[in-house]
Every structure is written in C-alpha cells, then in structure tokens.
C-alpha cells in the first residue's frame, strides 16, 4: 500500500492511495465508521507507533469493507483537492542520513578533495523541523547560500522501537520506504567543517510522496533512482550500488542510538549532483526537481525565492 499524509479543507489527514485512481482513502473517516477501536490515531506516525507493521493488515481489512459499501466514493478524496504533506510530518528525532554511500558519488566529488571510500558507515543528521512535502515550494535561501543542491535518495521508515538490531532481522524493523530530496547548501557545509548546518536549512528534507509498505518493494537494494532538474536527467543509478545496505545501516545505528517507530534513515545519494558538474549547476528560483524511485513514485520539489 501507498500511505500518504495530506491537508484537506484545513484538516490534517492521512490515508492510502486508491488503486489505479488519483484519489486517497480517508482513513480517519473510514476508521470512525468501519473500525471498532475507540482511539483512532491522528497521524500516520502515531498509527505506526501504536501498531507497527500490523497497521498494514488493519488498513487492508478496513479498506476491503469500505470497498463493498454502496457509498464507498464518499470516503475518497481527489488528489486535486489535497495539499500534500510528508508521510511522516515530524520524526521522533533528527533524520539519519548516510554520507558517501555510492562509489560513483565519491569518484565524482574526489577532485583534489582526497575523499576515500569509507570502511565504516558515515552518519550525519538533518533536523526534523526541516521536513517538507511533495509539490512544496521551498526557499532558495539565497540570502545565506549560493550553492544549493539536490540529492535524490531512498529513505527507510522504522516500524518499531529497537536497539542492537542483528542484520538477518533488520527488515523486521522496517515499515516501508519513501523518497527524500536531501537539499544541501554546500558552501555552508564546508564553511562549518561538518554537515549539520548546511544540511538543515528550512524545508531541506523533502519527503514523499508516499510511504510504500515493505511488502510492495521486495528488494529495496535493486531499485532505480532517477533525478531530473527542469526535465534534464541528472542522476540515474541503482540502489544496488550502495556500499552499505539497509541491514548494515540499521544494525550499525542501533548499536549506538536506539531507533524509534517513525524514525527515517536516508540511505545516501549517487553521482549526478549539481555541485559536481562542470561548471557547477546549483539550484535557483523556479527550478523543478523530480526524483523517481521504482515502486514508490515521483517526488517533486520547486525552488521559490
């Protein structure tokens, strides 16, 4: 299933995409009529925190009931009438990000930088307040940077609290997958000598459009990532190129920091970023970035003033 969060008529809601239609099932309204639970999660993150992966089956059962209802159409909302939100609008803590996880990127940015292929996972974070959504217009931040860049990435959403995850069981802790555009101010990144500030600008963690359940993506390490800027293909890679796989990441992080339901881990970006082009092609006002990952969809970001 493809979960999404959205605003409809000023109300924050969440639901699942209607199969073969550009509409969403309004799960909160559906639960009120078709589910016997007294407490209904108000957000997708809350639902994951309460039920974990069992929420998937719960939704599947309730949708099967509403599909048989004579008034089923009353529980659908057209995509034309919603404002997209990130599937997880606020993570429990900072978003985990992986640096230098694609050899193609290391080779691309290695001119005079003496960057070596990492032997261990490189982790940095973005503040959760930086989260933005599909189709959202984000600031160009031209007052503080002239090196704004895109980075298309596969992201993992955690299903339940965990620490010391063993690799063979790592995917048991995954709820599903989404896309992140890791917007980066490279000049700030290098000015401060670390990634955090240059990675945490307002609306610099663009996430969506969907959170796709793990049962629909059987092999997350063999999907394609394609990033287009104004229709031009910039990134075109396979997640099979990653140095550190999802089980590596979950195992290594959870040894040190306990993971929580709703946490997001973004797995790194391949070659093709604007800063590595000759000459560099940084983002500017009115640029449109589209990131497509097999089985998930296309995440669109628009650069504003």
Range of the domain at 61: 2-85
Residues whose CB is less than 8 angstroms from the CB of residue 279 and which lie 6 or more positions away in sequence, other chains included: none
Query: What CATH number should be reported for the domain holding residue 243?
Result: 3.90.850.10
| Residue 274 and residue 148 share a domain | yes
Is residue 214's pLDDT more than 80? yes
Q: Give the percent of the chain with pLDDT over 70.
A: 99
Q: Does 144 reside within a domain?
A: yes
Confidence of residue 10 (pLDDT cuts 50, 70, 90): very high
Is 128:292 a contact under the CB 8 Å cutoff?
no
Q: Does 15 reside within a domain?
A: yes
| Residue 258 and residue 185 share a domain | yes
Q: Does 90 reside within a domain?
A: no
**pLDDT for the residue numbered 240:** 98
How far from chain centre, in Å, is Cα 184?
Answer: 15
Q: How many domains does the chain have?
A: 2
pLDDT digits (tens, 9 = 90+) for 227-250: 999 999 999 999 999 999 999 999
Determine the average pLDDT of the residues in 16-43. Answer: 94
Q: What totals of helices (H) and strands (E) does the chain contain, helices first?
A: 7, 19
Residues whose CB is less than 8 angstroms from the CB of residue 303 and which lie 6 or more positions away in sequence, other chains included: 137, 138, 140, 148, 283, 284, 285, 286, 287, 288, 289
| Residue 264 and residue 230 share a domain | yes
Is residue 193's pLDDT more than 80? no
| Residue 171 and residue 25 share a domain | no
pLDDT digits (tens, 9 = 90+) for 85-128: 999 999 999 999 999 999 999 999 886 567 889 999 999 999 99
């Amino acid at each position: 299933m493809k979960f999404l969060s959205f605003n409809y008529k000023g109300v924050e809601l969440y639901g699942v995409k209607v199969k073969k239609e550009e509409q969403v099932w309004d799960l909160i309204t559906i639960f009120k009529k078709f589910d016997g639970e007294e407490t209904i999660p108000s957000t997708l993150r809350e639902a994951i925190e309460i039920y974990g992966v069992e929420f998937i089956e719960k939704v599947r059962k309730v949708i099967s009931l509403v599909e048989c209802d004579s008034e089923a159409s009353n529980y659908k909302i057209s995509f034309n009438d919603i404002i997209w939100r990130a599937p997880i609008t606020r993570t429990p803590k900072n978003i985990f990000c992986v640096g230098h996880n694609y050899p193609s990127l290391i080779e691309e940015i290695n001119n005079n930088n003496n960057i070596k292929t990492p032997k261990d996972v490189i982790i940095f974070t973005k503040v959760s307040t930086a989260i933005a959504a599909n189709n959202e217009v984000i600031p160009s931040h031209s007052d503080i940077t002239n090196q704004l860049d895109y980075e298309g990435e596969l992201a993992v959403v955690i299903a339940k609290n965990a620490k010391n995850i063993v690799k063979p069981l790592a995917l048991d802790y995954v709820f599903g997958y989404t896309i992140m555009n890791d917007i980066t101010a490279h000049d700030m990144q290098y000015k401060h000598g670390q990634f955090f500030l240059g990675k945490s600008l307002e609306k610099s963690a663009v996430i969506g459009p969907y959170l796709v359940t793990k049962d629909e993506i059987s092999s997350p390490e063999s999907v394609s990532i394609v990033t287009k800027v104004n229709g031009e293909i910039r990134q075109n890679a396979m997640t099979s190129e990653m140095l550190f796989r999802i089980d590596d990441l979950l195992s290594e992080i959870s040894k040190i920091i306990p993971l929580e339901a709703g946490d997001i881990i973004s797995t790194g970006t391949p070659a093709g970023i604007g800063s590595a082009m000759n000459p560099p092609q940084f983002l500017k006002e009115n640029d449109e970035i589209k990131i497509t990952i097999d089985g998930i969809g296309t995440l669109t970001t628009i650069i504003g003033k």
